[in-house]
Amino acid sequence: MKLGILKTGAPPAPLETQFGGYPDMFQALLGPDTHDYVVFDAEAGELPASPEVCEAYLVTGSSAGVYEALPWIEGLSDFLRAAKGRAGLVGVCFGHQIMAQAFGGEVIKSPKGWGVGLHTYEVTDPAPWMDSTAPIAVAASHQDQVVQAPPRARVVAASDFTPFGMLAYEDQPAISIQLHPEFEPAYARALIEARRGSRYDDAQADQAVASYAAPNDASRVGGWIEAFLATIPARRG
């Protein structure tokens, strides 16, 4: 499959040097030779000429808020709407949020504050591409949240902290998740340390770092994404 990665942000520069950028993390999660990857720097305004350039697109995380009046966010939203039914879509964190907003949902900066560390979601409405209904524990790093799902999108996994944690769309081949399956524990811990004292205090940072001693289901969620992508018909010609 030709899989377009719509890059909407980057790790802090020192961490990107050590761990790579978000496209690198997703290629490691899904397998470097599994797809024909094409990276588009959506944050810089680079988008495919048409949705048919790739059979599916994955929208990465970003430090931006989807509600910010940034030209590239508007352009990306227009592209996602144009891609509806013409290419598969997968959104992660910011990608989850911008898909929800583009298709009629609502995203806010949550008064609950930061969700950081290993978070557990219950499977609330199993989808065919899931391997089981067992809960998932995956890295979280977000303050914004989807608070209203788009029409024809259903919640398939969630937590009390994130009630709209994972969505599956019924009117197009599209799924999205607030969690970060692409974050390896070493990167997730390093990101927490880089933000200690600025985005969260010592107590929250300590608790989040300690959470990564527990089993991590990132590879399992990566398998879900792969199983979903396998449902998208190959394009002929």
The 8-class DSSP code of residue 219 comes to: H
- What is the per-residue pLDDT for 234? 80
DSSP codes of every residue in 76-95: HHHHHHHHTTTSEEEEETHH
Q: Confidence band (pLDDT; 50, 70, 90) for 86?
A: very high
- Is the model's pLDDT at 22 over the cut of 80? yes
**Spatial separation of the C-alpha atoms in residues 51 and 38, rounded to whole Å:** 13
Of the ranges 13-17, 26-30, 232-236, which one carries the lowest mean pLDDT score? 232-236
Q: Tens digits of per-residue pLDDT, 95-128?
A: 999 999 999 999 999 999 999 999 999 999 999 9
pTM of the model: 0.97
Binned at pLDDT 50, 70 and 90, residue 176 comes out as very high
Distances (CA, A) of 131 to 97, 126, 155, 171, 214: 24, 9, 17, 22, 21
Q: Locate the DSSP E strands across the chain.
A: 2-7, 36-41, 56-59, 88-92, 106-109, 115-123, 136-142, 144-148, 153-158, 166-169, 174-177
Q: What is the pLDDT of residue 236?
A: 58
Pairing of strands 174-177, 88-92: parallel
Helix (H, G, I), strand (E, B) or coil at 14: helix
| Domain layout of the chain by residue ranges | 2-229
CATH topology of domain 2-229: Rossmann fold (3.40.50)
Report how far apart the first and last C-alpha atoms of the chain are (Å, whole number): 13
Across the range 172-188, mean pLDDT stands at 98
Question: What pLDDT sits at residue 233?
Answer: 85
Closest CA to 102 of 57, 134, 143, 139: 57
Among the listed residues 156, 185, 184, 180, the one whose alpha carbon sits nearest the alpha carbon of residue 168: 156
pLDDT greater than 90 at residue 7: yes
Average confidence score pLDDT of the chain: 97
Q: Which of 101, 115, 181, 107 is nearest to 143 (CA)?
A: 115
Query: Which residues carry out catalysis?
Result: 93, 180, 182
Q: What is the mean pLDDT of residues 6-16?
A: 97
Distances in whole angstroms, Cα of residue 52 to Cα of each of 57, 63, 81, 100, 177 = 10, 28, 13, 21, 23
Q: What is the widest separation between alpha-carbon atoms in the chain?
A: 56
Cβ-defined contacts of 63-71 (< 8 Å, 24+): 63/9, 64/8, 64/9, 64/94, 65/107, 65/109, 65/144, 66/94, 66/97, 66/98, 66/101, 66/107, 66/144, 67/101, 67/107, 67/108, 67/109, 67/144, 71/45
Q: Read off the pLDDT of residues 201-222 as tens digits, 9 standing for 90 and up.
A: 999 999 999 999 999 999 999 9
